[in-house]
Chain A
C-alpha cells in the first residue's frame, strides 16, 4: 500500500529531548530504581526501552534489565493485521514477580495492545506495579488505558497512520503522519 507523508512531527533532536525528559520523570517517580525492569513491546517499543535503560544508566549509574514482549497470542483484534500475525519470541530472562514493570511502546492508540501486554505480563508472573511509557499518544482510546509517561500528545484522525522510525531499524529517527494513497 502506497503511503503519502502528510507531516513530519518529530525529528531526531525532538525525539532525543523527549526521551531525556521522560527519563527524568521516571527517576523522580520511582524511588527504588533497583526494583525497576523495562519491558519493550515488539518491535519498536524494545528499542525505545533500551534507549531509556541507557539513559537511566548514564544518569543514575543503575543498570535496569530490558526484556522483549511479543503479544501476538494475547491480541483480540485481527482487524489491523493480515489474517494472522507471525508469532515471535518473548525474551524475558529475569523474573518480573514483585517488580515495578515499565512497559514501553512506540504509539498508544486504541489501548488494545497494552491490554494484551498486561494480560501477558500477569501470566508471566505477578508484578508489583506496571507503568506505561509511550513515545506518541495519538488518542482514539477504546479501552480505559492511559500512559504514565508520554513523549508527545498527537491529535490525529482515525484514518491517518502514525509512523515511528528509529535508526536501529529504519535509517533515521523521526515521527511521521502518513495517509494511504488514494484516500480522500
Chain B
C-alpha cells in the first residue's frame, strides 16, 4: 500500500497502517545494514540536507548513514558554523538551501513547531528530527520497532516512561504512537516534571517509580538534564536518583523478560545504574542499530516514488 505523506513532522498525522508500513519496511533495511555492501541505489540522485540547529551526534549520523545507504547525497548544516549565528532567520536559511535544489530537509530545532513552519513555504520533504519539546517521530518509530522485535506485539503491553516528561519530545511522540498501537502507558516522574494534565493524553500518571514498575513489559528511561535542578523541578540530583533511578532492585518488580530502553545519551548512575545499562536486558544499543533502518524506511517511503503521488 502506498505511503501518501509528503512530510514526517508528527506522529499525530500517521495512521496505524502508516506506522506498520514503516516498521515492516524497516525490517528489510535492517538486512541491508548487515550485508557487506551496505548500499542500495534507490535514492540515487536525491539531495538531502541535515539541518541541525541543536547539537547532536547520534541522530545526525544516524540520518546521514541512512541517506548514504540509500545512495542519496547528504550534506550537514549545523548551527555552530553557520549563517544562523550571524542572525539569518530560519526562513531565509531554508530558502537559501532550497535554492540549491534539495529534495528533503531533515530538521532538528529547539523551537517546537519549526518543522511545521518551514513546511508552509518550502518545496522539499520535511522530516522532523526533534523540535523543542514537541515531537521526535523517528525516535518513537525506532522505539516501537525495537519493542516489536522483542515483544512481537503492542496490544496491552505495559510500557513505563520515566523522567523529565514535560520537556521531552521523545515522551510525546511515544505516547501518541504507542497509544495508537494499543499499548498501556504509565508516565513516571516528580510532579513538576509530570503535570497532572498529561492524564488527558490517555495514559496513567504515577509519581512513585516502584509502584509503576509492577508488571512492566518495557521501561523507557528518559535523559534528565542536569540543569533542571536549578529550575527547582526537583531539589537535588541525589534526591532524584533515590526516587527515580532504575536500580537492579527496582527492576525486579517488572516482568521477568522486561526490556530497558533509553533514547540516549545516558547519564550513567543517574537514570540507570551502570550494570543494568550494560546488561543483556538493555536493548539500548539495538535501538541505535534499528534507528538507521527505521530512518532508511522513512526516507524511502517519503522520497522513493513518483513525486506527484503524495497527498500532503
- Spell out A's residues near B (CB within 8 Å): 70, 72-75, 78, 82-84, 86-90, 119-120, 123-125
Contact A84–B42 (Cβ < 8 Å): no
Contact B1–A86 (Cβ < 8 Å): yes
Q: Which residues of B in the span 285-312 have a Cβ within 8 Å of any Cβ on A? A: 297, 300-301, 304-306, 309-310
By a CB distance below 8 angstroms, the chain A residues around B70 are 73
Contact A74–B300 (Cβ < 8 Å): no
Cα separation A74 to B4 with both chains bound (whole Å): 21
User: Quick one: which of A75, A83, A84, A89 contacts B31, CB cutoff 8 A?
Assistant: A89
By a CB distance below 8 angstroms, the chain A residues around B305 are 78, 83-84
Contact A74–B40 (Cβ < 8 Å): yes
B231 within 8 Å of A (CB atoms):
no
Cα separation A119 to B29 with both chains bound (whole Å): 17
User: Quick one: which of A73, A87, A89 contacts B41, CB cutoff 8 A?
Assistant: A73
- Spell out B's residues near A (CB within 8 Å): 1-4, 21, 24-25, 27-29, 31-32, 35-37, 39-42, 70, 297, 300-301, 304-306, 309-310
Number of A-B pairs, beta carbon distance below 8 Å? 54
By a CB distance below 8 angstroms, the chain B residues around A90 are 28, 31
By a CB distance below 8 angstroms, the chain A residues around B37 are 123-124
Q: Min CB distance, A21 to chain B, in Å?
A: 35
Q: Could you write out 11 A-B pairs with CB less than 8 Å apart?
A: A70-B28, A73-B32, A73-B40, A73-B41, A73-B42, A75-B42, A82-B309, A83-B309, A87-B29, A123-B40, A124-B37
Cα separation A125 to B41 with both chains bound (whole Å): 16
User: Quick one: which of A88, A123, A125 contacts B28, CB cutoff 8 A?
Assistant: A88
Cα separation A78 to B42 with both chains bound (whole Å): 11
By a CB distance below 8 angstroms, the chain B residues around A124 are 35, 37
Known: A88-B28, A89-B31, A90-B28. A83 touches B2 (CB 8 A): yes
Q: Min CB distance, B180 to chain A, in Å?
A: 20
Known: A74-B42, A83-B305. 19 other contacts (CB 8 A): A73-B41, A78-B305, A82-B2, A82-B309, A83-B4, A83-B306, A84-B2, A84-B304, A84-B305, A84-B309, A86-B21, A87-B25, A89-B27, A89-B28, A119-B41, A120-B40, A123-B35, A123-B39, A123-B40
